[in-house]
Amino acid sequence: MTRQDGTRWPVIIVLFLAGCTLALHAGKAPSALPLLRDEFGLGLTATGAIVSTWSVLIACTGVLAGLLVMRVGYVRFAVAGVALAGIGSGLGLLSDGFPFLLLSRALEGFGWIVAVVALPSMLAALSDARDRPLVMGIWGAFVPFGAGVMLLIAPVLQASGGWRLSWGVAGLVSLLASLAVIVACRRCAERLATLAYAEQALAERPFAALRQPAAWCLAGCFLAYSFQFMAVISFLPTLFVDTTELSLSTASRLTAVVMLSNVVGNVLAGVLLVRGVDRITLLIVSALLGSIAATLIFLPDLPVALRIAAAIAFSAIGGITPGTLFATAPLIARTPASVGVLIGLMLQGAGAGQLLGPLALPFAVESVGVWSAAVLPIGLAGVMGVGAAVLLRRFAR
């Protein structure tokens, strides 16, 4: 991509915000679980399935989605994915039982996967080489920004109209975003056509991008990061209620702030990469410092203010990892179109981490009997993140 093509910032902003609407559907669920349990008479396992459905889908279908998007078309799937998430949320709004609600969540999740695979490739095609690290770093913030905003506003929506109002608002916003994506992409049709040409060139070699060891290093880094992040975020309210005098509502709002602070790390990664900071160094530092900050969160003898500061620092520092990984994928990929396949692999690693982290942390805590035992799985994930980053330096040469 030549410099004179320029970075299409207005379109990039539209695509980023469309991605943020996808994350609304992740953020609407946690605070709605008590309401869903009461209305449908659900147990803990059933309510857990409402949250974990997405992680299972991502862990199992990320690469498949990348290959499918590469063959069918990035713009089509970006629009369809965002719209499908909105439709799924609308169907969930009409649910009269758990099976239909779970099916609607699966529909949302499928829309999320194909859109999140497609959108980064489009962003890479719409940005020039100098701005691309910043663009991809900003893209990495779509989950904490969208989910964090919804975590803040969902209790207000649910207090006014129950859980169905939050489902309806999230669905409507995604449907409007899909229309905005259509309009924005029409203005850059010629630029995005480069993805179509790359799709044709890769049609006979769909697995070429997956044969690179560096691609699996990216997935390993994302797995380790997601393991830590979801383990901490999932149990942060419970941790602070059990070990401090904070109320559940205060702890929940604090968790939303912690998640939003992850946006800072993602954007910072893009800024630092544009300024020439080594990407492997960023991944290693993020894994090390993030693990240290996470350890402080689970030490009950520390002052509460310090533990809260550690939680915010953990999230902000950790955000450097996804921002760096999304910015690195276009460099590892052989063509703009194959970025989608690598993103699919990265998402599959992230999905595995999202599943394993929230299982491993409580297992360690219950086995030992103290919250500080969470340091063990968090530390192991940090070691894995550093190791994957070191291997990435070797294979990405």
The reported pTM is: 0.88
Least confident interval from 40-44, 242-246, 251-255:
40-44
What confidence score (pLDDT) does residue 3 get?
41
Token pair, residue 316, equals: 């902000």
pLDDT one-digit tens code per residue, 85-98 = 999 999 999 988 88
**Mean pLDDT across 216-242:** 91
Band of residue 246 on the pLDDT scale cut at 50, 70, 90? confident
Fold exhibited by the domain 3-395: Growth Hormone; Chain: A; (1.20.1250)
- Residue 155, SS3 per DSSP: helix
Using alpha carbons, select from 389, 320, 262 the residue that is nearest to residue 137. 320
Alpha carbons 140 and 165: distance in angstroms, whole number? 28
Q: What percentage of the chain reaches a pLDDT higher than 90?
A: 53
Q: Inform me whether the pLDDT recorded for 199 exceeds 70.
A: no
pLDDT one-digit tens code per residue, 22-64 = 999 988 887 787 888 888 887 766 777 787 788 888 888 888 8
Least confident interval from 124-138, 250-264, 326-340:
326-340
Q: What percentage of the chain reaches a pLDDT higher than 70?
A: 93
pLDDT one-digit tens code per residue, 5-25 = 688 999 999 999 999 999 999
**Mean pLDDT across 66-89:** 89
The more confident residue out of 68 and 168 is 168
Terminal CA-CA length for the chain:
21
Rounded alpha-carbon distances, angstroms, from residue 164 to 94, 107, 169, 358: 8, 17, 9, 26
What confidence score (pLDDT) does residue 378 get?
95
CB 57 within 8 A of CB 106: yes
Alpha carbons 226 and 216: distance in angstroms, whole number? 15
Give the H or E element holding residue 136: helix 132-139
Q: Inform me whether the pLDDT recorded for 1 exceeds 50.
A: no
What confidence score (pLDDT) does residue 206 get?
57
What confidence score (pLDDT) does residue 198 get?
52
What confidence score (pLDDT) does residue 336 get?
62
Mean pLDDT of the chain: 88
pLDDT one-digit tens code per residue, 118-147 = 998 899 889 988 899 999 999 999 999 999
Alpha carbons 15 and 322: distance in angstroms, whole number? 18
Q: Where are the domains of the chain?
A: 3-395
Using alpha carbons, select from 5, 229, 288, 298 the residue that is nearest to residue 128. 5
Band of residue 301 on the pLDDT scale cut at 50, 70, 90? confident
